[in-house]
Amino acid sequence: MLRNVAVVLLDVVHPFELGVLCEVFGHDRSDDGLPVYDFAVVSAAGPTLRTHAGFEITTPYGLDRLAEADLIALPTGGDYPSRDYPPELLAEMRHAAARGARLLSVCTGAFVLGAAGLLDGRRCTTHWRHAQALAERFPRAIVDPGVLYVEEGPVITSAGTAAAIDASLHVLRQEHGPKVANTVARRMVVPPHRDGGQAQYIERPLPAGRCDTVGELLTWMEHHLDQEITVEGLAERAHMSPRTFARRFRQETGTTPYRWLLRQRILLSQQLLETTDDTVDAIAGRTGFGTAALLRHHFLRTLDTTPHAYRRTFRGPVSEVRH
Whether 234 and 228 have beta carbons less than 8 Å apart is answered as no
Count of other CB atoms within 10 angstroms of residue 139? 10
Q: Where are the domains of the chain?
A: 4-201, 215-315
At the top level of CATH, which class does the domain 215-315 belong to?
Answer: mainly alpha
Q: CA 133 to CA 126: how far, in whole Å?
A: 10
Percent of the chain with pLDDT over 90: 62
Q: Which CATH architecture has domain 4-201?
A: 3-Layer(aba) Sandwich (3.40)
The whole-angstrom separation of Cα 282 and Cα 268 is 12
DSSP symbols for 29-90: -GGGT----EEEEEESS-SEEEBTTS-EEE-SB-GGGGGG-SEEEE--BTTTTT----HHHH
Dihedral angle over CA of 97, 74, 80, 303, nearest 10: 100
Query: Quick one: DSSP state of residue 13?
Result: B
pLDDT of residue 216: 82
d(CA 201, CA 166): 15
Q: What is the pLDDT of residues 138-191, one digit of tens each?
A: 999 999 988 889 999 999 999 988 899 999 999 998 899 888 988 898 899 887
pTM for this structure? Answer: 0.68
Q: What pLDDT digit, counting tens, does each position of 229-261 carry?
A: 999 999 999 899 999 999 888 888 878 899 889
Query: Using an 8 Å Cβ cutoff, are 158 and 108 in contact?
Result: no
On the question of pLDDT at 7 being above 90, the answer is yes
